[in-house]
Structure 1
Amino acid sequence: MKNVLIVGAGRLGKGFVGETFFNAGWNISFLDKDPKVIKELLKNGNYKVRVHKTDTVVDNVISGYQAFTTDKQHSVSEAFLSSDLLMLPLYPEDFKEAAHYLGELFEQQFKQNPNSKKTLICLTNKNHIIPEITAYFRDNLTNQETKDWFDSHVAIRDSIVRRSTDAETNYSTNLVTTAVASLIIQEPVYSDFSDVQWLDVRKNVAMLKDIKVFTINGPHAATAYYGYLKGFDDIPTAAQEEDIAALIKGVHDATVQAVLKEYPVTRDEIRELEYLPEAKNEMPDTIFRVGYDPIRKVGPKDRFMGVVALCEKYDINYDAITKAIACAFAYTEPQDANAIKLQDDIEQNGLQNTVASHIGRDQNSEVVAKIVDEYNKLAQLGLIG
């Protein structure tokens, strides 16, 4: 039986990755830094996932796994050494800490089984960070000999997540997910997971991921932030409201124009990447999940500003995107630490300086002025408290 170590046992780790490998009959081990996440996983020895497929809804009970915290004893050592595949459903800011913890285990692997190889698949919506993640791992190896071995025996690969997974909390053991589209994985890989459904190895993943993040995640995030200001709790309901629907269309239209100019793709190829079949009785995606961490989402190369840069390059109107960004700066969800940080920054440094700092532009730039103007319009409409 094949072995997989899932580093990050939150919503995506349990609801998508764990459920997928359980169905394929793999031995599953979870590793997480949060003791409460692991405690809940081990309490009953199983967790439940409601899976919405295109034609049915399945209730699956996942069991027979191991679960470890990132303890000082490295209790996960045996599970790590026996796994040739590591799945890392982590937020971008968590990879550095994960690499630090796993560094000692890669040292063990080099000493005990230098002929073995590993594939690490990173599941995050941030693009172009594999060199940075690779550097984190190499920096935690003690000598050049180990680093040379790592370079030739460990493949760190990016992926494109096209699956919604949700739960009440990160440590919940009752989850809901959709199963309508595959995880697209960067080639080449060392591990054989051809027996696992919903994993699709392809070329040109960096380009495809840019297109996916821009065309799907951009309008999705716009829906979340404007929907929040208008008092909605879930994405499907918010998307039906007239003003929000108009913003979604504006963001999407500008994005598609920019993508067609920048990348060697056709409109039909973009549609193929964007198209996600409708799941039966599909769960309503929450504003909270989609809007989570507005600081990352308004960043210089992310779903909004990455497209703005292309629009500037090709002289495409991007007013809708600046409105979406303004909504993100007005997002005040109290359970989202980075939403609160944005509000603290605005209070301490002023709106213009805060916008400029987080989107990576000069405070006197045109795009900053447009965002500030859109923010003020939202305030005048009474949408910002």
Structure 2
Amino acid sequence: MKAVHFGAGNIGRGFIGLLLSQAGYEVCFVDVNEELVSELKARGEYPVTLASEGQETTVVKGITALNSASEPEAAARAVAEADLVTTAVGVNILKFIAGTIAEGLKLRLQGESAPLHIIACENAIGGSTQLKERVYGKLDDETKQKADQRVAFPDAAVDRIVPLQQHEDRLKVVVEPFYEWAVDRSQMFEGYTPVEGIHYVDRLEPYIERKLFTVNTGHCSAAYVGFLKGYETIQDAMKDDEVAAHVRAVLEETGAALVHKHGFNSAEHGAYIDTILERFRNPALTDEVSRVGRSPIRKLSPGDRLVSPAMLAFESGLPYKSLAKSMAAALLFDVPEDPESVELQASVRDIGVSDTASQYTGMAGEHPIMGELMEQYEALKAETEAGRS
């Protein structure tokens, strides 16, 4: 069986590519990084090491790679011939790979072909649905009709911490032992071939929101508050009792909202929160605050990991104070190497923090969450300035 995976970065190699290979697929990575593609082609394998006490290493073999920029026809042909297509490129990059996938589907749908599932493994709600919209925007009506019958885009929820890393072997990846990959089987064709390692579910939204509002919300909360305290890694930040207490408080707020909305068992969700906090503390991982906190504008957007659970809590009559504090800390995330951080800080200087917060969160200035956010912002700013003096 052949799988085409878009995105040969650490997550692509250390999570999706690894699982697909272990499930028996020959994996073809598609990327635009020529050095990475060339090395994958030349070696046909790469090592993945678990960030655990035993540091177990698996060598992923039988893989190849294509550069969709310099080999567009070959990349499209690979899609046309694939048994499965997956992505891990970042939701903002889906628009750039849609053309290659569309060209592949045009070739595939010219004749008889088996049903194809295309799964976007991104940190976003409805990632595959978003990809489908991008791809369909590049197809004519006749091809769309054929695709409706033979191509499916099931949404997925993925969870595995893969930190920024540098190794002498540039193909090596270190990943945490924990992972979860859930796929909405209600969006798949009957008779699909299950992939070992994927958890197929009938309703995906609870899994997506549980992951996004616990792992991602907690992770960025640790990053933003940790940054203000001068920590360089999440692991160091989580050793600070104040940071750890804040992250737990955030996850108790999102947890209450999730239990209220989806009917999760409170005790089971509490145990899930404990597991997530231990993952953040994993001493075998070194995850930089600057990486986890990067792109604060995206993380502050209305449908993302901070505003969305805060709005859910507000609408459910539940607390959101700690979430507002994380938003406030995000507005103080000042990292010159991060373009979104630079844009955010420029906006604060130009139009003020209140208008900036409203602009990027989508919340009106008079909204109660905004009132709490501004109160937390002033407190954090004063505390940070006092710490520097």
TM-score, length-scaled by structure 2: 0.88
Q: SS state of the match for residue 66, structure 1?
A: strand
Structure 2 residue 34 is the aligned partner of structure 1 residue 35: yes
For these two proteins, the number of residue pairs brought into alignment is 380
Q: What does residue 255 of structure 1 align with?
A: 254
Q: How far off its partner does 1:224 sit? A: 1.0
Q: Deviation string for 1:222-266 (max 9, x for gaps)?
A: 011111111212223211212212211221121122222222322
Moved more, 253-262 or 276-285: 276-285
Q: What does residue 184 of structure 1 align with?
A: 182
Q: Aligned in 2, Cα 1:200/1:253: closer, same or farther, shift over 3 Å?
A: same
Q: SS state of the match for residue 118, structure 2?
A: strand
Equivalent residues in 2 for 1:230-309 (5 A)? 230-271=229-270, 274=273, 276=275, 282-309=284-311
Residue 336 of structure 2 is aligned with which of 323, 334, 337?
334
Structure 2 residue 152 is the aligned partner of structure 1 residue 150: no
Q: How far off its partner does 1:325 sit? A: 0.6
Contact 1:329 1:343 in 2 (8 A): yes
- Between the aligned partners of 1:243 and 1:180, the Cα distance in structure 2 is 26
Q: What does residue 76 of structure 2 align with?
A: 77
- Paired residue type of 1:91: G
Q: Aligned in 2, Cα 1:28/1:129: closer, same or farther, shift over 3 Å?
A: closer
- Paired residue type of 1:308: A
- Paired residue type of 1:148: Q
Q: SS state of the match for residue 109, structure 2?
A: helix
Contact 1:260 1:267 in 2 (8 A): yes
Contact 2:235 2:285 in 1 (8 A): no
TM-score, length-scaled by structure 1: 0.89
Q: What does residue 172 of structure 2 align with?
A: 174
Task: Indicate the RMSD between aligned Cα atoms, in angstroms.
Answer: 2.6
- Paired residue type of 1:132: Q
Q: How far off its partner does 1:57 sit? A: 2.5
Q: What does residue 133 of structure 1 align with?
A: 131
- Paired residue type of 2:294: Y
- Between the aligned partners of 1:110 and 1:275, the Cα distance in structure 2 is 48
Moved more, 286-295 or 226-235: 286-295
Q: SS state of the match for residue 164, structure 1?
A: coil
- Paired residue type of 1:318: Y
Q: What does residue 15 of structure 1 align with?
A: 14
- Between the aligned partners of 2:60 and 2:107, the Cα distance in structure 1 is 30
- Between the aligned partners of 2:2 and 2:198, the Cα distance in structure 1 is 16
Q: List alignment gaps of at least 5 residues for structure 1.
A: none
- Between the aligned partners of 1:204 and 1:161, the Cα distance in structure 2 is 15
Q: What does residue 222 of structure 1 align with?
A: 221
Q: Deviation string for 1:52-75 (max 9, x for gaps)?
A: 46x742122334322111136422
Q: How far off its partner does 1:45 sit? A: 4.1
Contact 1:299 1:360 in 2 (8 A): yes
Q: How far off its partner does 1:304 sit? A: 1.2
Higher relative contact order (CA 8 A, sep 6+): 1
Q: Deviation string for 1:251-287 (max 9, x for gaps)?
A: 1121122222222322144346556597896423332
- Between the aligned partners of 2:265 and 2:204, the Cα distance in structure 1 is 16
- Between the aligned partners of 2:109 and 2:312, the Cα distance in structure 1 is 44
Q: Aligned in 2, Cα 1:16/1:76: closer, same or farther, shift over 3 Å?
A: same
Q: SS state of the match for residue 382, structure 1?
A: helix
- Between the aligned partners of 2:119 and 2:146, the Cα distance in structure 1 is 19
Q: Aligned in 2, Cα 1:301/1:88: closer, same or farther, shift over 3 Å?
A: same
- Between the aligned partners of 1:56 and 1:112, the Cα distance in structure 2 is 50
Equivalent residues in 2 for 1:340-351 (5 A)? 340-351=342-353
- Between the aligned partners of 1:150 and 1:110, the Cα distance in structure 2 is 7
Contact 1:6 1:13 in 2 (8 A): yes
Q: SS state of the match for residue 119, structure 1?
A: strand
- Between the aligned partners of 1:347 and 1:169, the Cα distance in structure 2 is 35
Q: What does residue 323 of structure 1 align with?
A: 325
- Paired residue type of 1:147: K
Contact 2:164 2:288 in 1 (8 A): no
- Between the aligned partners of 1:371 and 1:148, the Cα distance in structure 2 is 47
Q: How far off its partner does 1:102 sit? A: 1.6
Q: How far off its partner does 1:118 sit? A: 0.8
Q: SS state of the match for residue 285, structure 1?
A: coil
- Between the aligned partners of 2:120 and 2:222, the Cα distance in structure 1 is 26
- Between the aligned partners of 1:175 and 1:237, the Cα distance in structure 2 is 22
Moved more, 20-29 or 148-157: 20-29
Q: Aligned in 2, Cα 1:219/1:48: closer, same or farther, shift over 3 Å?
A: same
- Between the aligned partners of 2:164 and 2:218, the Cα distance in structure 1 is 22
Moved more, 274-283 or 329-338: 274-283
Contact 1:166 1:175 in 2 (8 A): no
- Between the aligned partners of 1:128 and 1:78, the Cα distance in structure 2 is 26
Moved more, 373-382 or 182-191: 182-191
Q: What does residue 62 of structure 1 align with?
A: 60
Q: List alignment gaps of at least 5 residues for structure 2.
A: none
Q: SS state of the match for residue 49, structure 1?
A: strand
Moved more, 315-324 or 76-85: 76-85
Q: How far off its partner does 1:28 sit? A: 0.9
Q: Aligned in 2, Cα 1:70/1:194: closer, same or farther, shift over 3 Å?
A: same
- Between the aligned partners of 1:275 and 1:85, the Cα distance in structure 2 is 35
Q: Aligned in 2, Cα 1:247/1:195: closer, same or farther, shift over 3 Å?
A: closer
Q: SS state of the match for residue 318, structure 2?
A: coil
